[in-house]
Amino acid sequence: MKRLELEEIKSKKRPLIVATVASVCWSLLSFNAYSVTFVLFSAIVWLYYYLSRTTLKTLTITRSIDRERLFSGETLTLKYSVEGSHFISLSTTLFPVIRGDREYFVPKESSFVLSSNGNREVETKVTFRRRGKKDLSGLFLTSKDPLRFFSHTAKYSAPESVLVLPKVMNIDYFPLRLRELLPGSRSDFELMEDPVDFRGIKEYEREPLNRIHWNASAKLGKLMIKEFGYTAVSDTILYLDLNLSREIFARDVWEKIRIDYEEIAVQLSLSLVRFTYGSGGRIALVIVGDEVIRLSGLGRDWTDFAEVLADTRGSDQGPQLSEIIEEDFERFDPATTVVIISMYLGEDILPQLLRAKSHSSRVVVIIIPFSPREPWTKRTVSYQMLPRTIEGLKRRAALLEEEQIVVRVVGDNQSIQEVLVDLENR
């Protein structure tokens, strides 16, 4: 729980000034009971103005949040405690100010009456739709005179932030190559089962029917499956390219496209990392953005990747993917699957792809030039026009696939999941 400090108070009182000047002029021109009444009324309103302003200065406001990390699309709950009105009752509206790069959120203002010597607990919820670090420091508290003669807006703040992690896509399949077998030993990674190494049973979770242990299922009254040991492991290096390629000419146009691509590519990368961990494989992540970030999967959980990806940004002048891949050829071995996610790749990268394949088991390239269709939406008429360089690479995809270089261009009328299913069918 953090206490918020007052930064400034801004007041609007033009209607009150106009009413006061009018009442004084009336009293000077025609001194009677009515004019005196209006003068006294103005004096009372001015007194209420200064008391309410003083009250805002003496309030004690504290804030607490229900978590420090959450995924995009989830809801954050902020709780504010307001106390310390010793003079008068105030009709107030509380509005949290949340700042973050390229975000969309839905904060809700809360209106309440703060009575004298009373405390109020106010709860508001915020839903973040984009990843990144969000600044929760600010808070505005407004108070208006019931007759609308004046209003105060007080700004309070205390340093605090929340990290919004990328959303995770549902991925059921991705073509990872297995590392060579480990004779005479058992691997902790669950990719190639050894039917001789029976470990036990566990509850059924959409596995093939031939895995069901019928005797155990009959005894326990629910479906149970056989669980075996494993003898092989996949090794993947994932390249996430967030920068604009030097091949792009209309850079201002593609820079705007890149912002949406960045969000989708980060979500896909995190989903592939989680899928690999769930399959028991090894994965290393290379992020080509403002700077080159390398993350090894050794000793890490997939959520560690999520924290790094949450605040990663690309640029239009950053390092180039082809240069980074050339530096990494020595990291590849015959059991490595190289996965590349990019927005714009042309035929100029073919030499790097061929050399990468000569050092590894398989190269999988996923190009996302436009925002893909969400999997739960219907197909529509597509008017997409791919750049010539991407079209050229797409035409060569069939020949490249014979060399275990798999290239897929995600169309604006396709979903990411559909493209991954197509990989499975190949």
Cα 85 from Cα 82, distance rounded (Å): 9
Please give the structure tokens belonging to residue 307: 């924290």
Please give the structure tokens belonging to residue 142: 């407004």
Residue 423 — left, alpha, or beta (φ > 0 → left; ψ -120 to 50 → alpha)? alpha
Give the chain's largest Cα–Cα span: 110
Is 115 in contact with 92 (CB distance < 8 Å)? no
Is 202 in contact with 225 (CB distance < 8 Å)? yes
The pLDDT value given to residue 184: 43
The strands making up 235-241's β-sheet, listed across from edge to edge, are: 292-295, 282-288, 235-241, 336-342, 362-367, 405-409
Cα 399 from Cα 397, distance rounded (Å): 6
Q: Which of 252, 218, 237 is nearest to 331 (CA)?
A: 237
The one-digit pLDDT tens for each residue of the chain (426 residues) are: 889 999 999 999 999 999 999 999 988 888 888 888 999 999 999 999 998 898 888 888 999 999 889 998 888 889 999 887 666 788 888 888 887 655 556 566 788 888 777 788 888 888 888 888 888 899 999 998 888 899 999 999 999 999 999 988 888 777 765 554 444 444 444 444 545 455 678 788 766 677 788 888 888 888 888 776 555 567 889 999 999 888 877 777 778 888 888 989 999 999 999 888 887 778 899 999 989 999 987 777 888 899 999 988 888 888 889 889 988 888 888 888 899 999 888 777 888 888 888 888 889 999 888 888 887 778 777 767 777 778 778 777 778 887 788 888 888 888 888 888 777 655
The pLDDT value given to residue 199: 64
Cα 193 from Cα 216, distance rounded (Å): 20
DSSP codes, 382-403: ------HHHHHHHHTHHHHHHT
The pLDDT value given to residue 17: 92
Is 289 in contact with 268 (CB distance < 8 Å)? no
Please give the structure tokens belonging to residue 184: 């005479």
DSSP codes, 232-285: --BEEEEEEE-SPPTT-S-HHHHHHHHHHHHHHHHHHHHHHHHHHHHTT-EEEE
DSSP one-letter code for 72: T
Three-class SS of residue 148? coil
pTM: 0.75
Burial of residue 365 (number of CB atoms within 10 Å: 0-12, 13-18, 19+) = buried
Cα 82 from Cα 63, distance rounded (Å): 9
Please report the domains of the chain, with CATH numbers, ordered by start residue.
2-11+59-165 (2.60.40.10), 197-230 (no CATH), 235-425 (3.40.50.410)
Q: Which residue, chain included where needed, has tokens 């093939």?
A: 208
199-216 as b/e: b if 16+ CB within 10 A: eebeeeeeeeeebbbeeb
